[in-house]
Structure 1
Amino acid sequence: MPAELEGRRLSTVLMSTLGLSRRLLRRIIHEDGFFLNGQPVRLSAIVRRGDLISWQLPDESPSIAPEQMPLDICYEDEDVMVVNKPAGILTHPSARERTGSLLAGVAYYLQKTGQTPHAVHRLDKYTSGAILFAKHAHAHHQLDRALRQGLVHRKYVALAYVQNDIPCGVWLHLVDDLAINPERPSRRIVVPEGKGERAITHALPLARTGHMVLFAFELETGRTHQIRLQMASRGMPLVGDRDYPYSVARKPDLVGRAGYFERVFPHQALHAYQLSWQLGENGPRKKSWARVPEAMERLWSLSGGMDTMEQWCERAAVASPTNDNRVTLDME
C-alpha cells in the first residue's frame, strides 16, 4: 500500500483507487474474500503504508448455455480477450435468436478456466470485426467505465458506393442527430438537431476503384447503425447494405449503379479492424487487430482495388482526424 493512501478505509481504497464496483464489493465481503496482510478483514479497516491487500473474486456462472464454435482470437490475457466476429452471428443472444451467439462460444472456450465472459460492446449481426470480452466481473466493470470515459476506441473499414469525385486522403466530418424509426423500430433515421441523439463520425476515403470507395472510420459516439445511416443519408451507402440503401438519401441515382452495389455483397461490407482499450484509469494502453474477412478482400481485389485492404488498414491506423486536414460533409 503506497504512503499516499495511508489512513483511508479499505472500502474507499478498493472503490476509488482500484475501481471495484459496490456490487462486487458486497459479493466478495459476503464470501469473506478480502485479506489484509494475509488475514481476513472487514471493509471498515484502516490501511497503513506497506500493507498488502488481496481478494478472491467470487465464482460466476455464465448467463447463457456455452456452445462450442471456432473462434478467431486476436488477443488474450488474464482479464480480457478480443475475438474477430464473423459477419452473420450475433454478439449475444436476442429475443428471437437464443442460440449461436459469439458470447456462447466464448463461454464454452472459458469453461476450462472457470471464467465467465462479459461482452463490453457489440457489433451488428452482419458487421464483422473485433469484439472485446471481459473474463470476470471486475474487468467488466472497469471496461464499462472506460467505455463511458472514451478509453475504448474502435476503428472500422468499409466499402461504399460513391458517385461523386470525393478526394482520397481527406477526413470527412459527419454530424447528425439519430432517432428510432417509428415505422421500423429496429432501424434508425436522421432527425433535426435536438430531436435525437448526436452522432459524430470521422470518415477517411482511402482508395477508389470505379464507383467503389474504400473508407476508414473513427467514431466519437457509438449510436446504433451510426456509420451505415450517416453514409447512406449522404448518398454513399455501404456496399451490400439493404437496410440503409442509396434511397435513404432521397436523390436520383444519376449513375444508375446503386442497385448493383446493394446486391453485389451478401451484407454490409463493414469491418471493425482495430480495437484499443485501457483497463483502469492508470492501466497500460492495449491494442488488437482483427483481420479483414476474405470475402471483403476478394470483392475489393476483383473490382480492381489496388493493394490489399489489410495494407490500407495499416495506413489508416496511423491517420488521425484530429491532426489531419478534414472537411465537414453535410447532408444535401
Structure 2
Amino acid sequence: MLPIEDQKYNKIVYKVEKNEEGMTLKSLLKKQWEVSSRLMSRLKKDKRVTINSKWAPYHQILQKNDLLVLNMEEESCDFTPINIPLNIIYEDFDVLVINKPPGMLTHPTAATREGTLANAVMNYMNNRGECYKIRFVNRLDMDTSGAMILAKNSFAHQQLAAQLQSKMVKKYLAFVLGRVDKSYQKVEAPIYRPETIPENEPPRRVVDSRGKMAVSHLEKVEVYSKASLIRIKIDTGRTHQIRVHAHHIGHPIIGDEFYEPDQPNRIKRQALHAERIIFDHPRTKEEIECNAELPDDLIELKRLLEKEI
C-alpha cells in the first residue's frame, strides 16, 4: 500500500500488505515496480533501502505492515535557472508534464545556453525548494510544440523509459498540405539516415529499406480546401518520424521547409503538436492521460485554412 501523503520526489514509502508477507525485499521490488537491477545495485551500494527505519538487505523476509522506504540518490542539476513561465499539464511526486511552446529547445547547447525548457524547469524547481536531475522522457524538435514528460527521479525515469518503447500512447496533431482522402491509414516505412550529408546541412531522414522500421497511424480530423488536419499515433519513435512519413504519403507538414521547402508561407515552423500522452504512473500504476492545448500559432493557422478557398 502506498500512503500517498508520505510520498516525495526523492522518497518512496510503501507498507507491506498481508498477501506480500513472506516475500523477500528483492522479490517485492521486482513484483511491485519492476525495479531494474542497475537501480537496485545503486540503492544497495548507498544503503538507501530501509525497513522500519533500518537498512535492509535484499534477502530480508517481509512481514505485514513493514514500512519500506526507498530513498532516491541525491542529485543536482547545473543548468542556469531562467524565469520563463511553464504551462504545466500535470505534476506529482514522480512526474512533471509540460506543454512545450514552439521555438524552444529542450536542453541548452553550445550555441544556446539559456532560454531552453531545462532552464525554465531549473527555475521552477528552485522556487519549490526541490533538486532533481532534469530527465525528459520523450523528445520533441525545437519547433514542435506539445506534451513533454519529465521524470523527477531515476526510478520514475526507468519506468517511463520502458513504457516509451512499448505501451505509452503518443498522439500528435499535424496540419498537412493537400486534401487527405482516407479516414485512416497505417504507414509502415523504414526511416534511414543517409551516410553522405551535404556540408553544413543537418541530416535529412528518408524512407529507405536500409533504415529502421517505423510505424505511424494517421487519422483524418478535418479537411480544408488545400490542406488537412490529421491525428497521428506513433508506435515507434524514430527521429523526424512523423515529418518523414507525412512527406512519404504525399502530405508534407505545413511549414516544414526542411522536408518540403516549396510551399506557401503560412506559419514559421512545422505545424506539428504533441497533443496527447497516456502512460501508467511509475509508482501508483494508475493510468494518466495528459492533453496539451494547441498553441496560438496553430489556432491562427486553423482559422486561416478554414477561410482559404
- TM-score class, shorter-chain normalisation, is 0.7 to 0.9
- Aligned residue among 162, 171, 177 for 2:190: 177
- Report the alpha carbon displacement of residue 191 of structure 1 after superposing the two structures with TM: 0.4
Flag structure 2 segments of 5+ consecutive residues without an equivalent. Answer: 1-15
Compute the TM-score of the two structures, normalised by the length of structure 2: 0.84
What is the distance in 2 between the residues matched to 1:149 and 1:6? 32
SS in 2 for 1:17: helix
For the pair 1:224 / 2:226, whether they are aligned, the reply is: no
Encode CA deviations 1:54-82: one digit per residue, 9 max, x unaligned: 22222211253333311111111111111
1:238-317 correspondence runs (5 A)? 238-245=253-260, 258-260=262-264, 263-280=265-282, 283-304=285-306
Identity %: 30
Amino acid corresponding to residue 295 of structure 2 in structure 1: P
Q: Is the 8 A contact 2:83 2:120 kept in 1?
A: yes
CA distance in 2: counterparts of 1:109 and 1:25, whole angstroms: 30
Structure 1 runs, 4 residues or longer, greater than 4 Å off: none
Distance 2:303 2:83 in 1: 33
Question: Gapped runs of 5+ residues in structure 1?
Answer: 247-257, 307-332
C-alpha distance in structure 1 between counterparts of 2:186 and 2:57, whole Å: 52
- Alpha-carbon shift at residue 179 of structure 1 (Å): 0.9
Shift of 1:235: 1.9
* Compared CA separation, residues 101 and 85, structure 1 to 2 (3 A): same
Retained in 2: the 8 A contact 1:146–1:281? no
1:157 aligned onto 2:173: yes
Residue 167 of structure 1 aligns to which amino acid in structure 2?
A: D
Residue 27 of structure 2 aligns with which residue? 12
Offset of 1:284 from its aligned partner?
0.8
Structure 2 residue aligned with 1:122: 139
1:137 aligns with 2:139: no
Q: Letter of the 1:22 partner, please give it.
A: S
Q: Take 2:251 and 2:157, find their aligned partners in 1: how far apart are those partners?
A: 36
Alignment counterpart, residue 197 of structure 1, candidates 207, 212, 232:
212
- 1:197-256, Cα deviation, whole Å (9 max, x unpaired): 11111111211221111111111111111111111122211111111117xxxxxxxxxx
Distance in 1 separating the partners of 2:298 and 2:109: 26
Distance 1:132 1:227 in 2: 19
The residue that corresponds to 2:7 in the other structure is none
Distance 1:230 1:122 in 2: 17
- The aligned residue for residue 65 of structure 1 is 80
How many residue pairs get aligned? The number is: 287
Could you tell me which amino acid in structure 2 is paired with residue 157 of structure 1? L
The Cα shift of 1:95 comes to 5.2
Q: Deviations over 1:253-298 (max 9, x none)?
A: xxxxx521xx221110000111111124970100111110111111
Work out whether residues 180 and 223 of structure 2, in 8 Å CA contact, stay in contact via their aligned partners in 1.
no
Structure 2 CA distance for aligned equivalents of residues 77 and 177 of structure 1: 37
Counterpart of 1:177, as a letter, is: P
Q: Structure 1 residues 19, 104: closer, same or farther in 2, change over 3 A?
A: farther
| TM, length-normalised to structure 1 | 0.79
What amino acid maps onto 1:276 in structure 2?
I
Task: Please provide the CA RMSD for this pair.
Answer: 2.3
Q: Hey, what does 1:103 align to over in structure 2?
A: 118
